[in-house]
Amino acid sequence: MRTLLFSSQHYDQESFERAATGLDFDLHYQPARLTQDTAALAQGFEVVCAFINDELDAQVLQRLAEGGTRLIALRSAGYNHVDLAAARRLGLSVVRVPAYSPHAVAEHAVALILALNRRLHRAYNRTREGDFTLHGLTGFDLHGKTVGVVGTGQIGAAFARIMAGFGCQLLAYDPYPNPELLALGARYLELPELLRQARIISLHCPLTEHTRHLINANSLAQLQPGAMLINTGRGALVDTPALIDALKSGQLGYLGLDVYEEEAQLFFEDRSDLPLQDDVLARLLTFPNVIITAHQAFLTREALDAIAATTLCNITRWAAGNAQNLVTS
């Protein structure tokens, strides 16, 4: 079955070729993002495999359907970038990867916490320049600190287990409490109360109409002064410009982002020779207590292999009329 992977990098090709060994797949790789301008590249491909920053609005889906595409196979768990109503109208099926390696994302969130707390990014740059002083590098013990987990699905639960191992006190917010977190001793609270009590807050919830800008100027004002915020979920969970005022006032003491609301035009590309046109992102990068990574939390060998295997299985099952992991709403 002819399948075109948009936004594909070398690591995608490697993992998909491994997963396709011995299987009857005709895989093609396109590094360009899927947009209205690039949708024509999918002409004649029955399956289009899309990633998180590909555009799958009504106009793009219309062009894909006209070109013969029948299945949108997402290489992600999230599907907020897909116009599902348009897909249904056009007769396009949409499948996703509901879980790959929750440990990958959870461990990256913890890595951001440790790096920010112990100022590893600043220490690394100092020692490379021959500066071995310790001024300004004081951190705090994680043991005994209160950590708020916003969203307690598979990734949030994996994150909570790690933080419990550090000896942290766990608070949680989720409409559907997870028994695993309750067993760890976590207390479920409403979001405002969690924000008031937690020293560290980590976001692991999906992006929906209810969670868009869940963290905004009002919620940031409820934080303990100097609190740490980590977002490895979706960029639009946070009203990014509001972060700047909170950082300037000291209300937000540490910020770790692996996702950014306007990342589609930036992430996964080498733009080091170009001036940064995004003023908000440029301002955030000037703060010494901010670390931003370019949506790499998922990027482990185990996660890539799981994404590839599940995606190919989704395609195979769909072709056999026994679809799994269908996105219906």
Left (φ > 0), alpha (ψ -120 to 50) or beta: where does 119 sit?
Answer: left
DSSP characters over 83-101: -HHHHHHHT-EEE--S-S-
Residues 160 and 172: their CA atoms lie apart, in Å, by 9
Catalytic residue list contains 295: yes
Are 60 and 72 in contact by the 8 Å Cβ rule? The answer is: no
Residues 252 and 156: their CA atoms lie apart, in Å, by 22
Instruction: Assign 276 to helix, strand or coil.
Output: coil
Beta strand extents in 30-168 (DSSP E only): 47-50, 71-74, 93-95, 146-150
Residue 230: beta bridge partners? 202, 256
Catalytic residue list contains 193: no
Name the CA radius of gyration of the chain, rounded.
21
Catalytic residue among 33, 119, 199, 295: 295
**Helix H or strand E segment including 171:** strand 169-173
Catalytic residue among 33, 96, 261, 263: 263
Catalytic residue among 33, 81, 234, 261: 234
Which residues are annotated as catalytic?
A: 234, 263, 295
